[in-house]
Amino acid sequence: MTFEERPTPLMAAAGFLLWFLMLSATLVETDAYRFSAIIVCFYGIYVFRRTLPRPETSFMAWYCLCWSLYVLGRFFYGYFGSPNHEHGSSEWLFAFPIFFGGIGIGLTRMRFHVEKLLLFFFTVAALMLAVSQHWFIIASGEPVSPLYHNNQIHGAVACGLILIGAFYWFLHYAERGLRQSPYGLAAAALTPVIIVLCLISIVGSQSKGVWLALLGTLPLAAILLLVTERRAIIRLPVIGLILAVLGAGLVFHERLWARAGDTVNASLDILDGLMTGKMTAAALLQEKISSGTVPLSLNERLEIWYNALQLVKQAPFFGHGNFWIEKWDQTRYANVGYYLMHNGYLEILIRHGLFGLLALAIMLFGLIAMVWRGYRKGFIPAAGLQAYLMLIFFFALTLLSNSNNRLAIGESLAMLTGGVAFYAQSMERYSALNRRGPAAGSEGA
């Protein structure tokens, strides 16, 4: 097998289906993405073993492997080292980086069909968004669960990811000329529909965290594009997106403030208390909880966060591993009824402490550096790079108010984030080996 060799029609069809299932977590909340990602990973390992010349295993590949083995080691220590075989809750998802390299190499084989895959995905997304709209429920002011997700927050986050992805999909073809290919014409036709339907779904979901995450992402995306692009064909869609979001805000402003106003005011009071430094975070949270002035949904989060901070304080550097769930029952507000931290960063801290948070931050910046290098080498388009950054940024903001890294959308986004980074690195390394000739490279792993 050679790097430039195209997959057979049968393998291409199988790869198309598997990659669509990986993307489908934003449309339907199932575990299909997980099984397809594992299959793609093992196929990528097979390709790596069979393709010659073969590059050396990179530092980031070893880093992801070592982190994953550390997570699995802690898990098995907790499971076999305790009389109750404590298995925690969703501990294994932190070992997912073990799949990143294989997924990335698998994507190199799918690169010949990525345009078709994205066209198919966004076409299906537009149809499912249209079919699943709850027009009358949204008009009545009741919250809805967008698309086919288990609750409104999950669906709203998914719509945010689809919206951002569709926007940069359009920009990619706008940079090259929309009329230059049928894919560009399709992007021009589908993207406005997807953006409008996603905005309606996000407003209808009444998910305040997603509203704020989208409002936080939009200015950064707009500034980045307006600074780097001078062409009107690029700037006009950016201005159009800003106007669309502002228009949605104006149309629904009374409903938005009625839903989020009390929470925003309470959150600002908490931030002000933290900034002044008069009280510790735990003491401030406890005061707000006991005040009775905080909206119910935020009050539940404050109780959860207070519990989580108790656990972090007990083991700040390396966390509790699997045993956090046992200790949860000993916290002050253990009867809150949730084992989700409603904050993705606290999910990491209670399990793996500051060490884990730092290790994952280094991993993320390493993956971003790989994509940036892929962009500089011409393997990642400009719109692809910005989409990568904005999807990560948007999702990082949603983690402040919900544990989306423990959801199907979060797990699949992590797989894709790692996979795209290793795709960029693999493209560079395989291309360099092929330029040097068949004698180059290593025949070992």
Tens of pLDDT, residues 166-182: 999 999 999 888 888 99
Q: SS in 3 state form for 274-305?
A: HHHCCCCHHHHHHHHHHHCCCCHHHHHHHHHH
Please give the pLDDT value at position 177. 83
Please give the pLDDT value at position 445. 34
Say if CB 319 and CB 78 are below 8 A apart. Answer: no
The pTM of this model reads 0.92
Find how far residue 310's CA is from the centre of its chain. Answer: 27
Q: Give DSSP secondary structure letters for 87-130.
A: --SSGGGGGGGGGHHHHHHHHHHHGGGHHHHHHHHHHHHHHHHH
> Any idea which residue has 């309470």 for tokens?
266
Say if CB 22 and CB 36 are below 8 A apart. Answer: yes
Please give the pLDDT value at position 180. 86
In whole angstroms, how far apart are CA 178 and each of 142, 170, 183, 189, 234? 39, 8, 8, 10, 11
Q: Single out the residue of 419, 416, 407 nearest to residue 157, CA to CA.
A: 407
Q: Which residues in the chain come in under a pLDDT of 50?
A: 439, 442-445
Q: CA 153 to CA 271: how far, in whole Å?
A: 23
